């Protein structure tokens, strides 16, 4: 793990690597070319239309808020899983005897506390949700799916897939629930701001 990841990726709050600024900086770190390419491609494709509706300042706030929301849900799930596994959500800070844990419990604690979260995917899913919210009937089409699909179905399907993957592949290296968290917080923020649904 490089120093940039150690300082700027998001670690679970119980981790000795956790720093408060990571809740923002993690959104600007990525785990390889394909990761940053698909995130930035999605931002380029969908972001300008959302920014046009919300305005530049509100769009930036929206982006950051949904990225934070993604991390909040991820932290919440990890805290619950730790509590279920070892009886506390913060075993390191509370000084529990790690030597008394079983091998699988210890590996789980180490996995939570030493695996960083990186990427703008949570914020990107927030933007996707906003696009489906504002422009539900605009047809989207991928190269490998030659049939136009309305945004509300296409993006809704992506979110359902993320929920399914989070449940069916709990040990996956992809933080699927962070993606779902970005979408949930996007919906909350749009409702709080009173943004009109279904412009097109």
Boundaries of every domain in the chain:
3-192
Mean pLDDT of the region 88-103? 87
Residues 64, 59: Cα–Cα separation, whole Å? 9
| 47-90: pLDDT as tens digits | 999 999 999 999 999 999 999 999 999 999 999 999 999 999 99
Q: What is the pLDDT of residue 94?
A: 87
Helix, strand, coil % in the chain, rounded to nearest 5 = 65, 5, 30
Q: What is the pLDDT of residue 169?
A: 64
Higher pLDDT, 154 or 6: 154
Confidence of residue 170 (pLDDT cuts 50, 70, 90): low
Q: What percent of the chain has pLDDT over 70?
A: 93
Residues 91, 94: Cα–Cα separation, whole Å? 5
What is the CB neighbour count within 10 angstroms for residue 153?
14
pLDDT at 190 exceeding the cut of 80: yes
Residue range 3-192 forms a domain whose CATH class is mainly alpha
Residue 119's contacts (CB-CB under 8 Å, 6 or more residues apart) are: 26, 27, 29, 30, 31, 35, 36, 39
pLDDT at 23 exceeding the cut of 60: yes
pLDDT at 171 exceeding the cut of 60: no
């Amino acid at each position: 793990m490089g120093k940039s990841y150690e300082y700027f990726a998001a670690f679970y709050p119980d981790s000795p690597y956790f720093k408060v600024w990571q809740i923002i900086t993690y959104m600007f770190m990525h785990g390889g070319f394909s990761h940053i390419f698909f995130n930035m491609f999605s931002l380029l494709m969908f972001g300008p239309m959302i920014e046009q509706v919300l305005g530049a300042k509100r769009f930036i706030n929206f982006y950051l808020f949904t990225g934070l929301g993604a991390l909040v849900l991820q932290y919440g799930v990890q805290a619950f899983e730790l509590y279920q596994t070892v009886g506390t959500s913060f075993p390191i800070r509370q000084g529990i005897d790690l030597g008394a844990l079983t091998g699988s419990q210890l590996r789980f604690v180490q996995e939570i506390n030493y695996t960083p979260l990186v990427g703008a995917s949570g914020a990107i899913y927030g933007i996707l949700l906003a696009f489906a919210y504002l422009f539900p009937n605009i047809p989207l089409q991928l190269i490998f799916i030659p049939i136009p699909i309305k945004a509300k179905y296409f993006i809704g399907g992506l979110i359902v897939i993320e929920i399914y993957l989070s449940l069916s592949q709990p040990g996956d290296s992809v933080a699927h629930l962070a993606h779902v968290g970005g979408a949930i917080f996007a919906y909350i923020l749009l409702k709080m701001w009173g943004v009109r649904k279904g412009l097109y």
